[in-house]
Amino acid sequence: METTDKSLLKFAEDTLFSAFSKLARVNVMTGEFQFIKRDSDFMDDQHADSPDIFTYIRRQVMDGTVLPDHAEEYLKFSRPDYVRKRVFSGERRSVHSYRRKVGDVVKWMTFNIISAEDCSPQNPYALFAWREADSDTTTMFDAVSVLSGLYYKILRINLTTDTYESVKVMDEGFETPDTISGWFRAFAEKGNVHPDDVDAYLEFTDINRLRAVFKEDTARRTIRYRRRSVHGFRWAQMYLFPSVEYTENNQLLTLYVRDVHEEHITELRDREKLVELYNRDALTLLYNRHKYNEDLTYVSRSNFKRMSVAYIDLNGLHEVNNTLGHEAGDNMLCTVADALKKYYPDERCYRIGGDEFVVISVRLSENTVGRIMQEVKKDLLNDQYAISAGIASGLPEEKERILGEAELKMREDKAAYYRSHGDRRKRRQMNDELEKLLSDKRDEEYFLKVISKRFAGVYFVDMDDESVRHIYMPDYFGTLLEQTDYNYIAALKLYVQRYVKAEYAPKFEELMNFDQLKKQLSERGSISVSYEKVNGKRLHIYILRQDERPEVNESVWIFEEES
């Protein structure tokens, strides 16, 4: 024991004596302490008779030497069990910063507990060391104070010892445990996490999982969850960053939590708008064929007892187009669509082709759908428009039969209509193929016309082979793709070099790391980035997964100019 004692003192004299204002040799089992050095400014003589080091620290807080905002964290070191756990767990050095009064001046201080490698309950000696914070440390504190305006929780975490130190924490409303794993668990158990997010939150913050994932990869980890506030639950985001002092045997992290409620809601709304745009017919604003196929699959796999379908076709659209022009034909299509929305306000209405519409209901009987369709027909006759319709119903899993029967009845209704309208039927048959081609082309042109006003580019990008297909693409980006053999990453790099201000290039470098992008999309669902072009225009990029299935790695990139 004497040999270890001497080596500890020599270590203090050779390495630490000049660096610290106050040094004490401490037996962390009994609390006995002996000062090796005390500068006059930090002597605290009034506490020199303290029976142990833990009382000494406690008295510094009680007499107001330590500022109240820093008292709670500093007081942890007045608890023997807390100190012993940190020292005996293998943590060679614990560092804590706080503010204290020195006369009439307030100064930042750095408090250290330093122990030798052989420190144990049998050899329980450590050094407690205090010094005034250097300029680098105070600069860091200034930076943290700025960050505090953005984050309402900042912690230094040691995964190895399962401990933490608070840099900034708002009142959690409960007595916080000493361990970070206990804190995470208590935070959720006290109802501070939305019930729907609790499982994901507890899985993300599991201490053993965190130890394993950071040993495998020291990349930043993040999770979004709903956190209780005075105004109800709000979306928050937690970030875990490895510290510069991180090692596999001393896993030091910094934890930040910030409110992202408005940002997240905006992302959700933007995503919903894009999905809505993708699912809507550009002319009539009814649901389109893509949404029709999607809903049919959903209905057939759900627990609905029956499904009723109305299959509708316009009579005379070709004649209107040919004699009055396509604007009149578009007006006819919109009038029919408005009538369907008016008479079937709670059902799903679709435009599935040039002049074909479908209504799907899981609430209304076949007779009710048919009765309402007669009202639709009468209403449209007031505008001199006629439609043919077929109605059928059955079990949702019989959707192919139901649709086939409804379409057949529609064609019978159409045949009866043309029998009563002479040679108009012949003109209809002659123009059938031509009208379909014209209608499909017009739909595409209208869609691109609408989307080009709002978006600067919409692309589907395969994150495995970097290939790209597009919904809307400006000519200059098409040229870049040609120059790079249609490799999206290569084309995007040229785009950044030629069109994007240099300070925003790092943002694109992160986005072009597809391995990291896959992880972020898996965790967050979507990503948004803002940047500025060399011509001064500001744009936003929204990236989301095209398909939720893990085997599909296609992402959607939307470039939108700022309004």
Query: Three-state SS across 448-460?
Result: HHHHHHHEEEEEE
Q: How many domains are there within the chain?
A: 4
Instruction: Please indicate, yes or no, whether residues 277 and 410 belong to a single structural domain of this protein.
Output: yes
Instruction: Please indicate, yes or no, whether residues 94 and 172 belong to a single structural domain of this protein.
Output: no
Give the range of the structural domain holding residue 176, as residue numbers without chain letter: 148-259
Residue 438 falls inside a structural domain:
no
Largest CA distance in the chain: 118
Instruction: Please indicate, yes or no, whether residues 126 and 163 belong to a single structural domain of this protein.
Output: no
Residue 215 falls inside a structural domain:
yes
Instruction: Please indicate, yes or no, whether residues 203 and 82 belong to a single structural domain of this protein.
Output: no
Instruction: Please indicate, yes or no, whether residues 282 and 414 belong to a single structural domain of this protein.
Output: yes
**What pLDDT score was predicted for residue 273?**
67
Instruction: Please indicate, yes or no, whether residues 286 and 326 belong to a single structural domain of this protein.
Output: yes
**What pLDDT score was predicted for residue 326?**
81
**What pLDDT score was predicted for residue 307?**
93
Eight-state DSSP code of residue 149:
T
Whether the CB-CB separation of 103 and 96 falls below 8 Å is answered with no
Q: Where are the beta strands (DSSP E) in 244-343?
A: 252-259, 307-315
Instruction: Please indicate, yes or no, whether residues 23 and 128 belong to a single structural domain of this protein.
Output: yes
Consecutive 10-residue averages of pLDDT for the chain (563 residues): 57 64 90 86 80 92 86 87 85 81 84 85 90 67 52 80 75 72 90 92 93 88 87 87 85 86 76 72 87 89 90 87 81 92 93 92 93 93 89 91 92 85 48 46 51 73 86 84 88 92 92 88 83 90 76 81 74
Q: Among 380, 403, 421, which residue terminates a domain?
A: 421
**What pLDDT score was predicted for residue 317?**
84
CATH of the domain at 301: 3.30.70.270
Residue 141 falls inside a structural domain:
no
CATH of the domain at 14: 3.30.450
- Rounded-to-integer distance, Cα 535 and Cα 289, Å: 39
Instruction: Please indicate, yes or no, whether residues 374 and 412 belong to a single structural domain of this protein.
Output: yes
Instruction: Please indicate, yes or no, whether residues 7 and 119 belong to a single structural domain of this protein.
Output: yes
Residue 82 falls inside a structural domain:
yes
Residue 439 falls inside a structural domain:
no
Instruction: Please indicate, yes or no, whether residues 295 and 234 belong to a single structural domain of this protein.
Output: no
Query: Three-state SS across 419-481?
Result: HCCCCHHHHHHHHHHHHHHHHHHHHHHHHHHHHHHHEEEEEEEECCCCCEEEEECCHHHHHHH
Q: Who contacts 20 (Cβ-Cβ below 8 Å, separation ≥6)?
A: 37, 112, 129, 130, 131
Instruction: Please indicate, yes or no, whether residues 282 and 401 belong to a single structural domain of this protein.
Output: yes
Residue 267 falls inside a structural domain:
no
Residue 472 falls inside a structural domain:
yes
**What pLDDT score was predicted for residue 52?**
94
Residue 142 falls inside a structural domain:
no
